[in-house]
């Protein structure tokens, strides 16, 4: 199995090494990652600047490259430089934070898996659902779960334009309850933009915000990880709201 591994936290991210460490047990791995932290860049791609690709010190001994761009750029560069004849799987992560509910629209981790699907390749995004600042990420739990469930996850039947978003609760592996197939939940932010002043009294604005998450959302990724389950969500590239479309077509 030919595998391309990427992320949005950059080539030096701890989670990337955990993901490569698992993938190399199951196939031939090549790594293409951003040269810096690129979280929350969504499905952006670099079009008005060249992309510089550099060979990097091998991640877990695997052929590795950096790109001075975004996760989507990394997938497309990887399919050009590493696997010009295509590959079987694109893995993205392990992200150092959750990608639950509407997070997927901002996530570079998820965007890389989506770009794989657009290229007709199985894409899997995997994230550690840690909720408290400074709490341990427990990447080892994500790695162990992935190793244990590799054949299940990589053989799930789905349309070619569907990819998989996996969130692992940031707890020790012994405490993981199992996994559930679930839909995206609601996860919204409050106090989205904070106004501050620089040392010269000029205002600046910093975006981030406090997550408001009601865990009582049965059948969702939000509920599953809050109950200690790994949440697996299939996501389609076709974002059409079929129900609303049908309602209007029948008018």
Single out the residue of 3, 4, 6, 8 in contact with Mn ion (rule: CB under 5 A): 8
Nearer to Mn ion, 83 or 164 (CB): 164
234's tokens? 């299939």
Contacting range for Mn ion; rule: CB under 5 A; set: 17-25, 45-53, 95-103, 214-222: 95-103
The alpha helices in the chain, defined as continuous H runs, are 14-23, 71-81, 108-118, 139-148, 150-154, 221-226, 242-249
**Residue 103 sits in the site that holds Mn ion (CB under 5 A):** no
Q: Is 115 in the site for Mn ion (CB under 5 A)?
A: no
x/- site string to Mn ion, residues 9 to 28, per CB under 5 A?
A: x-------------------
- Report how far apart the first and last C-alpha atoms of the chain are (Å, whole number): 49
Is residue 237 a contact partner of residue 200, using CB atoms and an 8 Å limit?
Answer: no
Parallel, antiparallel, or unpaired: how do β-strands 162-169 and 122-129 relate? parallel
Kindly state the smallest distance separating residue 175's Cβ from Mn ion, in Å.
24
DSSP label of 86: -
- What is the three-class DSSP state of 130? coil
Distance CA 130, CA 20 (A): 21
CB of 139 to Mn ion, least distance (A): 13
Subset of 28-67 contacting Mn ion (CB under 5 A): 39
- The size of the interface with Mn ion (CB under 5 A), counted in residues, is 4
Does 221 participate in binding Mn ion (rule CB under 5 A)?
A: no
Q: How far is the CB of 218 from Mn ion (least distance, A)?
A: 28
Tokens standing for 206? Answer: 């910093």
Q: Provide the token pair at 246.
A: 């049908």
Cβ nearer to Mn ion, comparing 127 with 154: 127
Place of tokens 């696997």: 83
Token code pair at residue 101 = 């509910």
Q: Is 92 in the site for Mn ion (CB under 5 A)?
A: no
Residues that bind Mn ion (CB under 5 A): 8-9, 39, 95
């Amino acid at each position: 199995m030919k595998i391309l591994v990427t992320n949005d936290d950059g080539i030096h991210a701890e989670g990337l090494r955990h993901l490569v460490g698992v993938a190399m047990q199951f196939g031939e791995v090549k790594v293409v990652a951003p040269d810096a932290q690129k979280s929350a860049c969504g499905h952006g791609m670099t079009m008005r600047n060249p992309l510089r690709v550099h060979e990097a010190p091998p991640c877990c001994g695997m052929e590795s490259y950096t790109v001075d761009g975004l996760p989507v750029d990394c997938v497309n560069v990887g399919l050009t430089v590493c696997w010009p004849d295509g590959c079987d799987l694109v893995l993205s992560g392990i992200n150092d934070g959750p990608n639950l509910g509407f997070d997927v629209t901002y996530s570079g981790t998820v965007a890389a898996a989506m770009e794989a699907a657009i290229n007709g390749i199985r894409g899997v995004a995997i994230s550690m659902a840690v909720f408290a600042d400074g709490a341990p990420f427990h990447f080892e739990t994500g790695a162990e779960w992935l190793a244990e469930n590799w054949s299940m996850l990589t053989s799930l039947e789905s349309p070619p334009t569907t990819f998989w978003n996996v969130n692992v609760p940031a707890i020790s592996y012994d405490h993981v309850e199992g996994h559930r197939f679930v839909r995206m939940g609601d996860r919204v932010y409050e106090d989205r933009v904070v106004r501050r002043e620089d040392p010269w009294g000029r205002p600046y604005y910093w975006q981030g915000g406090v997550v408001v998450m009601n865990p009582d959302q049965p059948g969702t990724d939000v509920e599953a990880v809050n109950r200690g389950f790994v949440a697996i969500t299939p996501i389609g590239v076709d974002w059409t709201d079929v129900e609303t479309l049908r309602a209007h077509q029948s008018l």
